[in-house]
């Protein structure tokens, strides 16, 4: 299983109403994007961290590693904002290279920090949803809000095929390793090409077999799965409303000053 998928089945918040978690995640994410405030981003990061680690029971080390993945991309992408090549040194830092300077301004540094904080807080909202809600529950919520059936079915099939392809690729990789298929760089490239080609053929065969199985079970254009329904709780809804109102107040305050 995928790590995130495995963790969500062990989460203590798995049995909380999926609609509550979905609405909380989306509204909080919108506040992060609209406000573009470091204060709001830090509040959201703290709240999602407490909910995911303390309430959900997800290991802190695992959650930290998951956050490091987007953080690394964010640092690399914001280098273009921070670093400039100019004949005139700016006020934050300046490294002389001949007649030019590798330099940056304090304004660009502040903007980069704000961008990183906002993006990381937004990712933490999606992590909260994915680490505490099974995919089937998320699809049920999308069906309730009248998301197009075609989109939901594609999401379900893609989700299913992720595990199918991972299982096939793992078996092929194990077979290649047992035959010294990755003993050096040249051999590894050849093995990777063979794996990709076989994986494509196996995926096509699996998709045809899956469609035949669906047809034999009277497939009529809709995928129906059993879903467990957990009723919403008044105290949980109250906490969500209070937190979102607090974020709204902080957002308005930051926009006015």
- pLDDT tier at 42, thresholds 50, 70, 90: very high
Q: Is the pLDDT of residue 113 over 60?
A: yes
**How deeply is 62 buried, as exposed, middle or buried, from its count of CB atoms within 10 A (0-12, 13-18, 19+)?**
middle
Q: Which tokens is 10 given?
A: 């062990």
Complete DSSP assignment for 82-113: H-EEESS--SSEEEEETTEEEEE-HHHHHHHH
pLDDT in tens, 47-56: 999 999 999 9
Indicate whether 1 pLDDT > 70: no
Residue 2 confidence class, pLDDT cut points 50, 70, 90: low
Taking the C-alpha atoms of residue 124 and residue 120, their distance in angstroms, rounded to an integer, is 6
Q: How many CA atoms lie within 13 A of 82 on its CB side?
A: 16
Q: What is the per-residue pLDDT across 167-217, written as a single tens digit (0 to 9) for each?
A: 788 888 888 888 877 777 888 888 888 888 888 888 888 878 877 887 787
Contacts of 9 (CB under 8 A, 6+ apart): 134
pLDDT tens for residues 10-30?
Answer: 888 888 898 999 999 999 999
| Cβ within 8 Å of residue 31, ≥6 positions away | 40, 44, 244, 247, 248, 251
pLDDT of 108 above 70: yes
Average pLDDT over residues 85-103: 77
Can you spell out the DSSP letters for 116-151? HHHHHHHHHHHHHHHHHS-HHHHHHHHHHTT--HHH
Backbone angles phi, psi at 219, to 5 degrees: -65, 125
């Amino acid at each position: 299983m995928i790590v995130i998928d495995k963790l969500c089945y062990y989460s203590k918040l798995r049995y909380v109403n999926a609609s509550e978690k979905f609405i909380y995640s989306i509204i909080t994410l919108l506040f992060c994007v609209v406000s573009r405030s470091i204060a709001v981003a830090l509040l959201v990061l703290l709240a999602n961290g407490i909910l995911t680690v303390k309430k959900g029971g997800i290991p802190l080390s695992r959650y930290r590693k998951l956050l490091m993945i987007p953080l690394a991309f964010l640092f690399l992408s914001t280098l273009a904002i921070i670093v400039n090549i100019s004949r005139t040194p700016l006020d934050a830092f300046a490294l002389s290279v001949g007649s030019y300077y590798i330099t940056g301004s304090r304004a660009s540094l502040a903007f980069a920090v704000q961008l990183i904080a906002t993006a990381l807080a937004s990712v933490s909202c999606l992590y909260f949803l994915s680490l505490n809600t099974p995919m089937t529950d998320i699809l049920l919520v999308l069906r309730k809000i009248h998301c197009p059936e075609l989109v939901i079915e594609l999401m379900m099939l893609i989700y299913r095929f992720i595990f199918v392809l991972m299982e096939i690729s793992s078996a092929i990789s194990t077979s290649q390793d047992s035959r010294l298929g990755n003993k050096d760089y040249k051999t590894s490239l050849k093995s990777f090409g063979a794996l990709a080609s076989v994986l494509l053929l196996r995926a096509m065969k699996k998709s045809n077999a899956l469609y035949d199985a669906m047809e034999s079970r009277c497939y009529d254009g809709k995928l129906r799965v059993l879903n467990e329904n957990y009723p919403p709780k008044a105290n949980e809804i109250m906490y969500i409303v209070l937190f979102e109102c607090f974020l709204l107040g902080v957002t308005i305050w930051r926009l006015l000053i």
